Amino acid sequence: MSIQKEDIDHLLNLDKIKADEKNAHIVIDPDQCAACQAKPCLIVCPALLYTLDETGALNFDYAGCLECGTCRTICPHLKKWEYPRHTFGIYYRQG
């Protein structure tokens, strides 16, 4: 069974994310991403924030990050990974 983007979107809508638009807490290195053949980030990110565009270039949007640290663990080429500043980031809702 594979998880579809629609399923992820539904689950993520249960949470509230306040993105810090002035300070990205995760920064990728486009040159390293272009050179990476495996691109494990496409598979391991539970929020599916790493995608390929029509040219095969990697796109990333930190604003929906669940702060799980999976990309930090799997990718040695991230320029930056830290938790968002105070009052920013994800707030998990109780259902």
- Split at pLDDT 50, 70, 90, the class of 1 is low
For residue 12, pLDDT beyond 80: no
Q: Which helix (H) or strand (E) holds 18?
A: strand 16-18
- pLDDT tens for each residue of 35-82: 999 999 999 998 899 999 999 899 999 998 999 999 999 998 899 999
CA separation for the pair 59, 30 (Å, rounded) = 9
Q: For the whole model, what pTM was predicted?
A: 0.77
- Burial class from Cβ neighbours inside 10 Å (0-12, 13-18, 19+) for residue 36 reads middle
Could you tell me where the DSSP H helices lie in 14-60? 30-35, 41-44
Q: Which domains does the chain show, CATH number per domain?
A: 5-91 (3.30.70.20)
